Structure 1
């Protein structure tokens, strides 16, 4: 059996780099390469030798500065479509695009469950740039060029960026943390890597919504992280009334204590990709 050849467009990305490490467990089955798509040099690359392209290049959700708006669309939408067109023209059979749950908007103070009938409604230009990239890709798909769009929730793992490391820092140093009832979908990087591997193996196309098997309550997540470091943290409901009244209006509180989940049925797949449960994922992430 010949090796599957995969090209990752977006050199040094968190998802791409971890996916390469994950596939190194099967050196006789996969050949993986990553390239940068900054500048113009990538346009000279021969894509025809690859079975699948994993496109992870993009600007992350880090800025609401209006001055950045054009750059988000240029990279997250226009570059994605340009890379996909080149892949299609050179005979690549599958294009996998890393989108985001953010195409559905932001978390909220109410329990918000996204299901297959939920219509995407981005609340910022990051989410909108991803959604417009998805729409552009759908115009390119054919029987010979499959498009797989992944809309992951918050991705975390060893050396991840975003909210998880901030919560991990709080877990290590705070003696008390607010005990607010909320639910979040999250996705450990190993579970995502296995999921992408399955998409490649099965030559999938369509929209996909992978998540951990368990929803996450922020306070319990923080407590589990503290325990992984041998520390005790007290959970308190003392400030809940004040915090709950602020969640919908204060961005950082919304990110930490808001609700944002996929209906679990959306995330079912014909093969198991849940390599790690929540407890194991935290231990792996926090273990030095």
Structure 2
């Protein structure tokens, strides 16, 4: 198949491009800067739209930028898809488009309640796409991944890795939680399977690894990748939260946003996509994916 990817220079785009090429697909990249309309191949088989303004941990980005990139640019590209010969359109949204926090398991039936400009801009793009009539022979896939990780990704996992690598006992063990992650390998596998399976219906699909992990289990997995025994330090929650608040006003590795990401529970169901694809389990377990990612950090350090 011939596949066009926007945002191909990013972490997901680079890894997905390699995976699809290795599975005998032809991959074209499309930059959405400048006169991109004239460069869009309207005879490609699928468009995978990865371009987006990511959530800003420092909370300094102007809200309008999120809507300009995540909503307006997506709508413009999607309208071109509707008027082309392209069969499939993948819009990579986010679970943050429907829930910033969650008490239970997040599935596709959740009532959307985005709180940030990032989440709201993704959700508004979703709403527009879902409101359009999809011509016969075309499919629209809205993908909501949870936290993606893998080689080349420098997010919160990299921060955890640096702490563990220095031999520092994990100081947040008093927090109990459960979180879903998504390895880039499992993401690429699911996209590939959706592309080649003509029976998959248009719709919203959540992407996540099969198992969720607590942050303490995450620390154990990171240490396993480093061939070490995990060390934990139990510090009262209240003290940690006070330190995080200080990090909101001074340049400190831990702030309230990072503490929330490290300690909150956020479990995402992948049942719908696995049922649609008739698969029992993804190639990598959650722990295997984490260990592979951490080993890539170790090699790259």
Q: Same fold (TM over 0.5)?
A: yes
Name the SS for the 1:185 alignment partner. strand
- Verify the 8 A CA contact 1:47 1:87 in the aligned structure 2: no
- Verify the 8 A CA contact 1:107 1:255 in the aligned structure 2: no
Aligned twin of 2:184 = 189
- Verify the 8 A CA contact 2:224 2:291 in the aligned structure 1: no
TM-score, structure 1 length as denominator?
0.88
| Structure 1 residues 137 and 166, CA gap change in structure 2 (3 angstroms) | same
- Verify the 8 A CA contact 1:171 1:223 in the aligned structure 2: no
Unmatched 5+ stretches in structure 2: 246-254
1:237 to 212, 230, 234: 234
Aligned twin of 2:249 = none
Q: Per-residue deviation at 1:218?
A: 0.8
Q: How does 1:73-152 map to 2 (within 5 A)?
A: 73-107=67-101, 111-140=103-132, 141-152=134-145
Using the TM superposition, name which of 72-81 and 155-164 deviates more: 155-164
Name the SS for the 2:178 alignment partner. coil
Using the TM superposition, name which of 188-197 and 171-180 deviates more: 171-180
1:35-85 alpha-carbon deviations (Å, 9 max, x no partner): 211122x11024222111000011111256576211110110000111111
1:49 to 23, 29, 43: 43
Aligned twin of 2:250 = none
TM-score, structure 2 length as denominator?
0.85
- Equivalenced residue count is 280
Structure 1 CA distance, aligned partners of 2:209 and 2:41?
A: 33
2:157 to 164, 170, 173: 164
- Verify the 8 A CA contact 2:206 2:269 in the aligned structure 1: no
Structure 2 CA distance, aligned partners of 1:106 and 1:20?
A: 29
Q: Per-residue deviation at 1:219?
A: 1.6
Q: How does 1:167-178 map to 2 (within 5 A)?
A: 167-177=160-170, 178=172
1:68 to 52, 62, 71: 62
Aligned twin of 1:218 = 215
Name the SS for the 1:91 alignment partner. coil
Aligned twin of 2:292 = 284
Name the SS for the 2:28 alignment partner. strand
Q: Per-residue deviation at 1:228?
A: 0.9
Give the aligned CA root-mean-square deviation in angstroms: 2.4
Name the SS for the 2:110 alignment partner. coil
